[in-house]
Amino acid sequence: MLLHDAKEVAEKLMRLHETKSNVDEVIVLAGLYRELEGKVGSIRRAVERVILLRAQGIPMSLPDNVGTTKETVRRLAARFNEAPISVTLKQSTRWTTLTGALDALATTLDALQLQDWKRYFNDSLFAGLSPDRRRATLNQNHPGNKASMERYSDLYSRFNKYRNTIPLTVEALNEVRECSDNLSQITFVEVEDMPDSVRRFFDASATSAGAGLALFTDEVKGWLQDHDLIGSYVVRAKA
Structural domain boundaries, residue 228: 131-232
**pLDDT, tens digit only, all 239 positions of the chain:** 444 555 565 555 555 555 545 667 777 777 888 888 888 899 999 999 999 999 999 999 988 888 888 888 888 888 877 777 778 878 878 888 989 989 999 999 999 999 999 999 999 999 999 999 888 888 666 667 888 999 999 999 999 999 999 999 999 999 999 999 999 999 887 777 778 888 888 778 877 777 888 888 999 898 888 877 788 777 777 66
Helix, coil or strand: residue 190: strand
State whether 176 and 75 are in the same domain.
no
**Is residue 177 located within the same domain as residue 79?**
no
Residue 213 lies in a domain: yes
Give the residue from 70, 171, 54, 177 showing the smallest Cα distance to 112: 54
Q: Is residue 51 assigned to a domain? A: yes
Same domain, yes or no, for 26 and 100? Answer: yes
- What is residue 138's three-state secondary structure? strand
In a domain, 237, yes or no: no
Residue 161 confidence (pLDDT): 97
Residue 154 lies in a domain: yes
Note the pTM of the prediction, 2 decimals: 0.73
In angstroms, the Cα distances linking 97 to 12, 68, 104, 187 are 19, 11, 10, 57
Say whether both 136 and 118 belong to one domain.
no
Say if 238 falls within a structural domain.
no
Give the domain-ending residue among 90, 108, 124.
Answer: 124
Domain count, the chain: 2
Task: Assess whether 139 and 103 both reside in one domain.
Answer: no
Q: Are 115 and 139 within one domain?
A: no
Q: Give dist(CA 238, CA 230) in Å, integer.
A: 20
Give the amino acid at 157.
S
How many Cβ atoms are within 10 Å of 93's Cβ, its own excluded? 9
How far, in Å, CA of 82 to CA of 84, rounded? Answer: 6
Q: How far apart are CA 56 and CA 190, in angstroms?
A: 36
- Residue 173's pLDDT is what? 97
Alpha-carbon torsion (121, 126, 130, 131), positive or negative: negative
Looking at the fold, whether 141 and 115 belong to one and the same domain comes out as no
Q: What are phi and psi of 73, to 5 degrees?
A: -65, -45
- For residue 7, being part of any structural domain is answered with yes
Q: Which of 98, 124, 150 is the last residue of a domain?
A: 124
Residue (of 200, 203, 153) closest to 179 by Cα position = 153
